[in-house]
Copies of this chain bind each other. A is one copy, B any other.
Amino acid sequence: MGGTKMMAVVFDDQFNKLAAAKKKTKGNAGAEAGLNRIGETIAAAIKSADLQPEDIAGIGIGSPGPLDLDRGLILATPNLGWRNVPLKATLEKQFRCPVVVVNDVDAGTYGEYRFGAGRKNRCVLGVFPGTGIGAGCVYEGKLIRGRTGSCMELGHFPIDPRGPVADVGRCGTLESMTSRLAISAQAAQAVYRGQAPALQALTGSRLDRIRSGALAQAIAEGDQVIETIVRHAARVLGVAVAGVVNLLAPDVLVLGGGLVEALPKLYREEVQAAIAENAMPAFAAGVKIATAKLGDDAAALGAAALVAGKVK
């Protein structure tokens, strides 16, 4: 479940994809309408797989947070404006099967650990730069979590007190300096100055149009200033990731998210260089840097695997 769309996927017990359904999230219609849409999307996916609700062994949901993981509540979602949404209780009543609610980035990291770029590794760190910066960590087979909710809030890492304003009262977080929005804001200035003709033709200086794909296309078409902006952001992200490598000594770093999907080589190069320069040599040598393999399916697969682990 994301800020703009939601997707329900039906898997068999070997995690083969049987069917899927999508809807827009429409967060501003309110939490009750949202809960109904979630139920409808799941029901549509079940129907599309030629199954009945009673055939479903369990439902796993990756959701933006903060969440209460044990009670399966959405406590608040800044993107959707929902508060205290009883996701688990409502869906368990509707579908009469166990429901597991997990942070969306954690679901994606767990999916990559079970089925993708992090398979069979002791410690997998997932870093997903996009509109925000998400991260998750599977350590010895389990997601690292906070007491009641998820953790690994890498985007809120304090980087530079002179950096841009990020949240009320905080400046220079990693997200404020390296998210897709932060990059787009710099790219829009380059367009305004007439330094990025390809991006000018593609999007103009409108922030809402300068998405990861447009940035990648402008770079491919020769906007060098755009490449400099993105490489710089990727390097700053990489320095912060090097710090996390020093803390957790992961075996695999999985890079994913919108920016990495659009520019995988650039991101791998910059993050690798930042880790080589800033992580402990033994930890830098011990971490394999990979790009995510499962794309949009990672979170659905991860959530499905997590609920399967509870059901079996």
Residues of A within 8 A of B (CB): 66, 122-123, 135, 139, 144-149, 151-154, 156-158, 169-170, 239-240, 242-244, 246-249, 251, 277-280, 282-283, 286
Contacts and interface: CB of A to CB of B under 8 A. Distances in A.
B158 A247 contact: no
Contact of A149 (B148, B247, B282): B282
Nearest to A173: B278
Contact of A153 (B123, B170, B247): B247
A247 B151 contact: yes
Among A148, A154, A246, A286, the most chain B Cβ lie within 10 Å of the Cβ of A246
7 contacts: A146-B249, A146-B283, A151-B247, A156-B279, A157-B247, A158-B239, A244-B247
Given A144-B139, A239-B158, A277-B169, A151 B282 contact: no
A282 B156 CA distance: 12
A100 B153 CA distance: 34
B147 A251 contact: yes
A20 B242 CA distance: 40
B151 A283 contact: yes
B249 A147 contact: yes
Contacts of A170: 277-278
A280 B246 contact: no
A226 B152 CA distance: 36
A144 B279 CA distance: 18
A249 B66 CA distance: 13
A202 B280 CA distance: 37
Contacts of A135: 247
Given A122-B147, A144-B248, 20 more contacts: A123-B146, A139-B144, A146-B283, A146-B286, A147-B249, A149-B249, A149-B282, A151-B246, A151-B248, A151-B283, A153-B280, A153-B283, A156-B279, A157-B243, A157-B246, A158-B240, A158-B278, A170-B277, A170-B278, A247-B247
